[in-house]
Structure 1
Amino acid sequence: MKKLTIAIVTGLMSASSWSACNYNLDATSSQISNLGAVPFTNNFGQKVSANVTSDKKMYLASSAEGLNGYLTNSGTGDKTLPSSGILAFEVAIPNFILSKPSNGEVEADIILFSKDSVNQGVLSGMIYLHSGYNNISGYSENARVSGFLGGGSYTMNNGQMTINNPSVSLPFTGAALPLNSNYRVGIYLNQNSKQLGLIVNGVNKGYVFNYEKSLLNLGVILGLTTARLTPSDNVLNQEVKLSLVTDKNHFQFTYPTGTKDICGNTI
């Protein structure tokens, strides 16, 4: 009986490990520097963090294979997707700055990139959490989630990609600082209707973007950008944490019936 129990437990542990959906943020410093950025100060699996400084900086984290596809293969993601069904992932932001900067801006970024199923089109863009501005004319001063997405057919010229369809700006969703510790953004891709849906802090915004063909793959980059901050700014040294959540067992939001994580596990 003891041997049987051990065998059952071992089998369950093995099955659990096998079904886990991971996307390790293991891109190298060299890859990241090719995008004019630096690695996050702390990086553990799918969680990253850095403290805000007065320097103008862009921190990035992605998978090594994904970033290679982004840099050298016209935006090809590294996570293969099924051609039908609905797929989801989330980004948790348990730590963000506590208030709007005295000057300048702080922004947490979710960057998406993908080739379509016939490799003749792309989806790319950014969904961001912005701190709001102070003392910068012409810009909204409110903290918010927004972004822009583009996709469809493209042309190549001397290795540079130009997407032929215009990008779509996402509507602003206000965010009150400080954020609650459970703040998240959920993204779901409907491969049947060719649409991208968005959930912000538990509020389902529905489908906010249409793409042309089912997506063949997906790559994700997490980012943190700081700019125009002064050496005495009130947000300096505050820690920003981001976590890429790809395993359905750790999702927080409710998605359409039958949705799977990006590894194909039904929620």
Structure 2
Amino acid sequence: MKKIIIGTIVLLTFFENTHAACTYKFDASPTQIHNMTRNKTLKIFPKIIEQNFSFRLEGEDDKSNIYRAASSKAAEEFSSHTYDFVGDKSIPLSGKIGIEFLVNDFVNKYDRAHSLEKLNMIGTGFSFILSDDHKYLNYGDISVNDERVTRHIGVMIQGNNPNKSNFLMGENYEISKDSIKEIRFGLIIDQDNKKIDVNINGDYKGSIASLSGKPTKISLFVDGYSTNIEPKNPFIGQTISAELITDQSNMKLNYKVGTTDLCGSPL
């Protein structure tokens, strides 16, 4: 009997250790990223390692740097500018699905003394498109912005029907510049109750928008940007970095019972 029990424990440990990570592939080329907007202003992130993204602040007055990462398929489909957009990764059809965005190198990168004349801004964030098997349903954009007066997280969710109240919903959540050493944002797609919830650094904010239908697929995008960073700014050369987390083993926020990661593994 002891041999059977020990063998079972070893087998369970093996399966736990060989759990396939839930990932999203950010493999779009620089050209594909460049073509995602009609004015061709986007650039690919200077550094992408799996689902980690970073860029260095550059001192270029009167100029904006906008970086993006996407999957090859999503970038190509996005470039077509069509409302028939279909996501490239399948998601669970029931329960709650969690995604986390961690900004782990951002604090005090903004100096108010160098921002009296112009609207300087440093930011990073992620966006998503939810679809069924035929068409786009919801678009969402989450951005962590460091501006002249405040640091805040902006959340915007858009539906695909302008006649419904959920066509455009948005909130700004102000966060302290001094007390938070990292910023962890949680997005929860609630398939059963047809809504989208928000969690910021463990503070469950509740529902921000309704789903426009029954999503079966998702596409994810990560952005970083800086505007009007004067050459004399003392933070030039420092790095802004973030991580998009889709696997349950790395998700740290508190979630309601029944929540899974992007691939359906329980949190």
TM range (shorter): 0.7 to 0.9
1:70 to 73, 78, 91: 78
Aligned-pair Cα RMSD in Å:
2.7
After TM superposition, the structure 1 = structure 2 runs for residues 163-242 of structure 1, keeping only pairs within 5 Å, are 166-170=167-171, 172-177=172-177, 180-242=180-242
2:128 to 94, 112, 116: 112
2:147 to 121, 132, 155: 132
- Which residue of the partner structure matches residue 249 of structure 1? 249
Q: Which moved more, 1:252-261 or 1:20-29?
A: 20-29
**Aligned residue pairs: how many?**
246
CA contact (8 A) 1:96 1:178 kept: no
CA contact (8 A) 2:102 2:245 kept: yes
Distance 1:252 1:15, change over 3 A: closer
CA distance in 2, matches of 1:186, 1:143: 17
Displacement after TM superposition at 1:54 (Å): 2.6
Q: Which moved more, 1:68-77 or 1:144-153?
A: 68-77
CA contact (8 A) 1:93 1:182 kept: yes
1:142 to 141, 144, 150: 150
CA contact (8 A) 2:86 2:136 kept: no
TM-score normalised according to structure 1 size: 0.82
CA distance in 2, matches of 1:197, 1:191: 11
> What is the DSSP-based 3-state SS (H/G/I as helix, E as strand, rest coil) of the residue aligned with 2:161?
strand
- Which residue of the partner structure matches residue 42 of structure 1? 47
CA distance in 2, matches of 1:182, 1:9: 37
Structure 2 gap ranges (5+):
1-5
> What is the DSSP-based 3-state SS (H/G/I as helix, E as strand, rest coil) of the residue aligned with 1:153?
coil
- Which residue of the partner structure matches residue 81 of structure 1? 91
Distance 1:31 1:10, change over 3 A: farther
